[in-house]
Chain A
Amino acid sequence: MNLTIKTLKIKQQSVIPGFGITMGISLLYITLLVLIPISMVFIKSSSLGLKNFLDIALSTRVTASLKISFGTSLLAAAINTVFGLLLAWVLQRYSFPFKKIIDGLIDLPFALPTAVAGISLTTLYAPNGWIGRFLEPLGIKVSYTPLGITVALIFISFPFVVRTVQPVLQSIDREVEEAAACLGASRFQTFCKIIIPELFPSIITGFALSFARALGEYGSVVFISGNMPMRTEITPLLIRTKLEQYDYAGGTAVAAIMLIISFVMLLAINLFQWWAVNRHKFILQ
């Protein structure tokens, strides 16, 4: 046992040489592209002073928009998690005609400019649209309501769960399942006790990615939301209205609040994931 670890260590060092240089480049790259732009948000908004900052952050319109943004993003991420898992399952476990094409289609929402997505979804779900005209008599309004925002967010953050779960599902050994079956587990038990724990970290990652992506979305949502203050106004739009009035500090203040909240939420999600992974390891031991 000890021996294998030692050889592994030596191997690692020889496979990835030049740690100093690569680490340096990585840090520089992250600083230039991520840390400096994000710190600008805080530097710009710090010119306001704490009181003004809180006044802006806690104003009724901002809190209403935060509720809508976070609520619809969470809902969209949750729906994507369920259906993303289902899709990954079908694509990985079964073979059927046009499987490769369907697999390829999943990435399309990434390639499509979000404004185009927003406009086509609005056209579909507007009261006179192809789908909207059938929903209208049932009393379901999609375009220009929070439901419409959720639909747009589901669309743009759709690929994440599928693409994070798929490779893990692929790497699960069939033998483990067969062993479980040999030991007398039912299919349902195998699924719950063997497959789900294995997939769980990747599901959480997919959920977190979907959520984060949905939160910052602007292009597709402005078309379908109707942008009514207090009802369907998302936070990114509010930031834009502030910029449109040349109120850079106010805009970045709202952005900073959004960043802080999402940072806390992503941290919580990651902690949960860490807990899930460790619990899983614990069981194996």
Chain B
Amino acid sequence: MCILLLISALTGCGSTKNVQNSTITLLNVSYDPTRELYQEYNEAFVKHWKEKTGQTVTVQQSHGGSGSQTRTVIDGNEADVVTLALAYDINSINKNKELINKEWQKRLADNSTPYTSTIVFLVRKGNPKNIKDWDDLVKPGIQVITPNPKTSGGARWNYLAAWGYALKKNNNDSEKAKNFVQQLYENVPVLDSGARGATTTFVERGLGDVLIAWENEAFLSINELGKDKFEIVIPSMSILAEPPVSVVDSVVDKKGTRKVAEAYLQYLYSDEGQEIAAKNYYRPRNQNIEKKYAAQFPKINLFTIDEVFGGWSKAQQEHFSDGGVFDQIYIKK
């Protein structure tokens, strides 16, 4: 009996080993809110790749705050692909050593962002404080929940969305925009360190009148926590949030996984990939699919970070670095 068990265990080991030799493992280092999206997408891609080439791929996912995930890649976490919250994070991977081709953002369509999102408001059911647009967030007595832009990539989109709105409303007067954003942050009672933390504060602790959130996060909170408790408010204008993706060149070349890693990202643009993104509440780039989900994604007047802020590096330097505009808002008090 014992011997039988031993033999079967040994052969079992042997057979799994053989399978492992012909499988390719990809590591996708991503940020927090894409967990559900990539779970579904990985299954689809594995199936697609098996049908196309006969190879078996396993995709491992790693999720965390976008900034901390970036640091793990800088410090040597061997990610084949990175799918992060901001282009700035992917640029930062090259900070010490060039791990990714500098022209990465031109390698895939639409600035290497296969899906987009935007910043919307989540309010309590019935919208008791009657919040309709950004202007309502700076009114006295309104409590706004948003995470700290210094620790959360998502919060930087929130901040820039508010800034961009104020800028456009005041004919590009940056002093007025600063006042607007300062007033908004004076209405913030708690600065959580991450987006999920802010959602918890708003939803579970019952703190605040409005949560500034990514559209896909707002949908997820509503689905998970009950449609009878919250509703989404779409502001008149918002920012086009573009979470980018890239292959990590130094890793895929070393591991010999470039072909499959590139296919993995390209497949995000396929009909199936776009459909999965839309189902997970990310706005698809493919217009046919977008039309199909038009009821879910109402049209908003969107501006991009490049046109208003001149790109991520500049926005980061001006607003979020030490002594930048965000620090001034708090030190002034």
Report which of B67, B95, B193, B331 forms a contact with A61, defined as CB distance below 8 A. B331
Closest to A244 in B: B67
Report which of A61, A228, A246 forms a contact with B71, defined as CB distance below 8 A. A246
Q: A242 and B330: CB pair below 8 A?
A: no
B contact residues vs A (CB 8 Å cutoff): 65, 67-68, 71, 74, 92, 95, 148, 150-151, 189-193, 197, 200, 204-207, 316, 320-322, 327, 330-331, 333
Alpha-carbon distance between A61 and B191 when the two chains are bound, in angstroms? 15
A123 is an interface residue with CB less than 8 A from chain B: yes
Alpha-carbon distance between A242 and B321 when the two chains are bound, in angstroms? 9
Alpha-carbon distance between A255 and B92 when the two chains are bound, in angstroms? 23
Alpha-carbon distance between A208 and B276 when the two chains are bound, in angstroms? 55
Q: Which residues of A contact B148 (CB under 8 A)?
A: 227, 241
Distance of A123 from chain B, by nearest CB (Å):
7
Report which of A127, A228, A246 forms a contact with B207, defined as CB distance below 8 A. A127
- Beyond contacts A222-B197, A226-B190, A250-B322: 8 other A-B pairs, Cβ-Cβ < 8 A, are A128-B206, A227-B190, A227-B192, A228-B191, A241-B150, A244-B68, A244-B151, A245-B67
- Given A227-B190, A230-B330, A247-B322: A126 and B206 interface contact (C-beta under 8 Å): yes
Closest to B70 in A: A246
A226-253 interface bits toward B, Cβ cutoff 8 Å, 1 = contact, 0 = none = 1111100000010011111111001000
Distance of B189 from chain A, by nearest CB (Å):
7
Closest to A56 in B: B322
A223 is an interface residue with CB less than 8 A from chain B: yes
Report which of A227, A230, A242 forms a contact with B322, defined as CB distance below 8 A. A242
Closest to A226 in B: B190
Q: B333 and A230: CB pair below 8 A?
A: yes
Q: Which residues of B contact A222 (CB under 8 A)?
A: 192-193, 197
Distance of B50 from chain A, by nearest CB (Å):
39
- Given A227-B148, A230-B330: A243 and B204 interface contact (C-beta under 8 Å): no
The 7 A-B residue pairs with the shortest CB-CB distance, nearest first, are A226-B190, A229-B330, A241-B150, A126-B205, A128-B206, A244-B67, A227-B191
Q: Which residues of A contact B330 (CB under 8 A)?
A: 61, 229-230
Alpha-carbon distance between A206 and B148 when the two chains are bound, in angstroms? 35
Closest to B330 in A: A229
A197 is an interface residue with CB less than 8 A from chain B: no
A145-170 interface bits toward B, Cβ cutoff 8 Å, 1 = contact, 0 = none = 00000000000000000000000000
A216 is an interface residue with CB less than 8 A from chain B: no
Alpha-carbon distance between A130 and B117 when the two chains are bound, in angstroms? 37
A98-119 interface bits toward B, Cβ cutoff 8 Å, 1 = contact, 0 = none = 0000000000000000000001
- Given A244-B151, A245-B321: A227 and B205 interface contact (C-beta under 8 Å): no
In this complex, how many residues of chain A approach chain B with their Cβ under 8 Å: the count is 29
Report which of B74, B151, B204, B321 forms a contact with A123, defined as CB distance below 8 A. B204
- Given A245-B322, A246-B71: A61 and B327 interface contact (C-beta under 8 Å): yes
Q: Which residues of A contact B205 (CB under 8 A)?
A: 122-123, 126-129, 143
Closest to A245 in B: B321
Distance of B278 from chain A, by nearest CB (Å):
31
Q: Which residues of A contact B67 (CB under 8 A)?
A: 244-245
Q: Which residues of A contact B207 (CB under 8 A)?
A: 126-128, 144
A31 is an interface residue with CB less than 8 A from chain B: no
A186 is an interface residue with CB less than 8 A from chain B: no
Q: Which residues of A contact B68 (CB under 8 A)?
A: 244
- Given A122-B205, A143-B205, A241-B151: A226 and B191 interface contact (C-beta under 8 Å): yes
Alpha-carbon distance between A116 and B107 when the two chains are bound, in angstroms? 42
Distance of B67 from chain A, by nearest CB (Å):
4
Distance of A67 from chain B, by nearest CB (Å):
15
Alpha-carbon distance between A78 and B290 when the two chains are bound, in angstroms? 60
A47 is an interface residue with CB less than 8 A from chain B: no
Alpha-carbon distance between A243 and B95 when the two chains are bound, in angstroms? 13
Distance of A124 from chain B, by nearest CB (Å):
11
Q: Which residues of A in the span 242-285 have a Cβ within 8 Å of any Cβ on B? A: 242-247, 250
Report which of A60, A228, A237 forms a contact with B190, defined as CB distance below 8 A. A228
Alpha-carbon distance between A227 and B198 when the two chains are bound, in angstroms? 11
- Given A223-B197, A227-B148: A243 and B190 interface contact (C-beta under 8 Å): no
Closest to B192 in A: A227
Distance of B186 from chain A, by nearest CB (Å):
11
Closest to A144 in B: B190
Chosen A-B contacts, 13 in total, with CB atoms closer than 8 Å, are A122-B205, A126-B206, A128-B205, A144-B189, A144-B190, A226-B190, A230-B331, A241-B150, A241-B151, A242-B322, A245-B316, A246-B92, A247-B322
Q: B320 and A245: CB pair below 8 A?
A: yes
Alpha-carbon distance between A83 and B101 when the two chains are bound, in angstroms? 59
